[in-house]
Amino acid sequence: MTITRWVLADQLGEHFHEDAAHLVIIEAKDLFRKTRYHRQKAHLVLSAMRHLAAERPESATYIRADTFAEGLATIDGPLEVVAPHSRSATAVVQLVQEHGRDLSVLPARGFITSETEFQSWVAERGKRRLLLEDWYRSVRVSHEILIEDGEPAGGRWNFDEDNRQPPPRGAVTLGLPEPWLPVEDDIDRQVRQDLDAWESEGIEFFGADGPRMFPITPDEARRALADFVEHRLPKFGPYEDALLSEDWLMAHSGLSVPMNLGVLHPREVVRTAEEAWSKGLVPIASVEGFIRQILGWREYIWHLYWHFGPLYVDSSNVLSADEPLPQWFSDAKSEDVTAHCLSWALEQVHDKGWTHHIVRLMILGNWALQRGYDPAEMTRWFQRTFVDGYPWVMAANTVGMALFADGGQMSTKPYASGGSYINKMTNLCSGCRYKPTVRVGSDACPFTAGYWNFLHVNQERLSGNHRMSMAYAGLRKLADRDALIVQEAERGNSAP
């Protein structure tokens, strides 16, 4: 008897189904009733699922139902599914099994490294803390990526000295060619109509609708990858931490969407980038910086999601951050915000459901950290408003990297920074009503004031961290500390 492969919404590439004779793909509408997703995220996911069904008309059954259980009830015979990428989807699979359905679970796919490889690396470390850098080096060696004669290509593991430069002075874009963007087809038009109909029935979405900006089929994803490698990868390293107001993508790849939908295997991305370097088309600093993001960060964050356990998001809050997200922030009302950098970032979230990494970390995450936003709430906000947001990738990035709520399991110190750093890495301060160097008064930059206030509020918890000693030495010398604390208490949760 044929076993039908149940293909989940983030398992849509060939590597998830090419060995299956028959597929079932279920569009469960109830999920959109329960969570207010970005409209463009709903579009991307539905369009991707429907495109896969259209690519296999003879062997894929596409079901529109309220729930997965309702959809599965219409399929006869045994089922199998590749291990889901979240605890909630795993629970759904278990429930289906408990109800007596013959449903087997296949090992996880879609990542370069296996859980066994991660667990043996953890075991080898013994009592030493987990470090991304060590994980990344070990995977470079075990998978022979950017390795020559057993040594790191280019003679170094890390090219941070060449990378992470401020943006070119006076520029508003990097001046790179326009990125490849998909052209919408009839399936997209149908998705848009259906989402309009859902909205009129009362299902609510967040943010603006807009033309589809990210690849959702393997073919589109490969075109976007080739375009990135040719035009933007060479500049990835130097400008990976920079931000320019008229350049939404900078030298980034925009490939998180197809990789997280499972239509593009990260191994293919890494190998394509490595090949471009071996042909002399891309400098080692850029290719190493880029591969580090995927082989290092992406794989690490995936394993940490399971390693940190089910309570990580809801129970990590060492800074006792319990401010609810204010409405102007959670609804991304950029027009309510005067601080140019934050207003700009919220506008990107509203209009695209996507920003590049440094916007997530240096502006949105930094603001939430300084203002003590609740880490679990912030994680859920990122997850529903970002088109590439999924539980596995949001947990450690938000709770650990951006908010330091796990007390240092992910990062050795909080990623808090003031306006001077934002001014160094972006062109946003020149268009701002505030001044990045001013702490107190009507011109005070809310990020600069917020940085010092954050140090003050968390003094007992953080001053013992030796990586914060310079920061606390600075705080002790602040002549206007008392005035700053009063000013920030008065600001409260209002839009800056």
Ligand X SMILES: Cc1cc2nc3c(=O)[nH]c(=O)nc-3n(C[C@H](O)[C@H](O)[C@H](O)COP(=O)(O)OP(=O)(O)OC[C@H]3O[C@@H](n4cnc5c(N)ncnc54)[C@H](O)[C@@H]3O)c2cc1C
* Binding footprint of ligand X on the chain (CB under 6 A): 252-256, 259-260, 293-294, 297-298, 301, 356-357, 360-361, 365, 382, 386, 388-389, 393-394, 397-398, 401-402
d(CA 261, CA 249): 19
CB of 340 or CB of 371, closer to ligand SF4: 340
Binding mask 437-476 for ligand SF4 (x = CB under 6 A): --------xxx-----------------------------
CB of 53 or CB of 402, closer to ligand SF4: 402
CB of 173 or CB of 272, closer to ligand SF4: 173
Query: In 10 A of CB 240, how many CB atoms?
Result: 22
CB of 110 or CB of 436, closer to ligand X: 110
Given ligand SF4, ligand X, none, residue 260, with its beta carbon under 5 to 8 Å by kind, binds ligand X
CB of 345 or CB of 393, closer to ligand X: 393
Give the containing element (helix H, strand E) for 27: strand 22-28
Q: Considering Cα of 411, then 417, then 421, then 425, what sign does the dihedral take?
A: positive
List the one residue out of 216, 407, 406, 415 whose CA is nearest residue 305. Answer: 406
Q: Quick check: 340 binds ligand SF4 (CB under 6 A)?
A: yes
- Closest contact distance (angstroms) between CB of 346 and ligand SF4 is 12
CB of 7 or CB of 295, closer to ligand X: 295
CB of 236 or CB of 434, closer to ligand SF4: 434
Phi-psi region of 407 (alpha: psi -120 to 50; beta: other; left: phi over 0): left
For 387-452, give the DSSP string: TT--HHHHIIIIIIIIT-TTSSSS-SS-----HHHHHHHBS-GGG-SSBTT--SSTTB-HHHHHHH
- Closest contact distance (angstroms) between CB of 65 and ligand SF4 is 46
CB of 112 or CB of 445, closer to ligand SF4: 445
Binding mask 289-328 for ligand SF4 (x = CB under 6 A): ----------------------------------------
CB of 370 or CB of 397, closer to ligand X: 397
- Closest contact distance (angstroms) between CB of 406 and ligand X is 13
d(CA 84, CA 390): 12
Which of 49, 103, 321, 432 contacts ligand SF4 by CB under 6 A? 432
Query: In 10 A of CB 101, how many CB atoms?
Result: 15
- Closest contact distance (angstroms) between CB of 483 and ligand X is 31
Given ligand SF4, ligand X, none, residue 398, with its beta carbon under 5 to 8 Å by kind, binds ligand X
Which of 24, 46, 399, 428 contacts ligand SF4 by CB under 6 A? 428
Asked if 437 and 419 count as a contact pair (C-beta separation under 8 A), the reply is yes
- Closest contact distance (angstroms) between CB of 169 and ligand SF4 is 16
Residues 6+ apart with CB under 8 A from 194: 46
CB of 176 or CB of 478, closer to ligand SF4: 478
Q: Quick check: 436 binds ligand SF4 (CB under 6 A)?
A: yes
* φ/ψ (deg, to 5) at 440: -130, 140
Length of the chain: 496
Between strands 147-148 and 151-152, the pairing is antiparallel
Which of 135, 300, 312, 434 contacts ligand SF4 by CB under 6 A? 434
Given ligand SF4, ligand X, none, residue 432, with its beta carbon under 5 to 8 Å by kind, binds ligand SF4
d(CA 344, CA 346): 6
Q: Quick check: 244 binds ligand SF4 (CB under 6 A)?
A: no
Cα 192 to chain centroid, rounded: 24
3-state secondary structure of 25: strand
CB of 259 or CB of 263, closer to ligand X: 259
Given ligand X, ligand SF4, none, residue 256, with its beta carbon under 5 to 8 Å by kind, binds ligand X
Site for ligand SF4 in 6-65 (CB under 6 A): none
3-state secondary structure of 117: helix
Q: Quick check: 341 binds ligand SF4 (CB under 6 A)?
A: yes
- Closest contact distance (angstroms) between CB of 425 and ligand SF4 is 10
Q: Quick check: 423 binds ligand SF4 (CB under 6 A)?
A: yes
Asked if 304 and 396 count as a contact pair (C-beta separation under 8 A), the reply is yes
CB of 140 or CB of 371, closer to ligand SF4: 371
d(CA 252, CA 226): 13
Residue that has been written with the tokens 């601080």 in this structure = 339
Given ligand X, ligand SF4, none, residue 422, with its beta carbon under 5 to 8 Å by kind, binds ligand SF4
d(CA 44, CA 47): 5
Q: Quick check: 422 binds ligand SF4 (CB under 6 A)?
A: yes
d(CA 340, CA 430): 9
d(CA 394, CA 407): 17
d(CA 106, CA 330): 38
Given ligand X, ligand SF4, none, residue 446, with its beta carbon under 5 to 8 Å by kind, binds ligand SF4
Return the bridge partners of 4, or none: 22, 79
Asked if 419 and 329 count as a contact pair (C-beta separation under 8 A), the reply is no
Which residues are at the interface with ligand SF4 (CB under 6 A)? 339-341, 419, 422-423, 428-429, 432, 434-436, 445-447
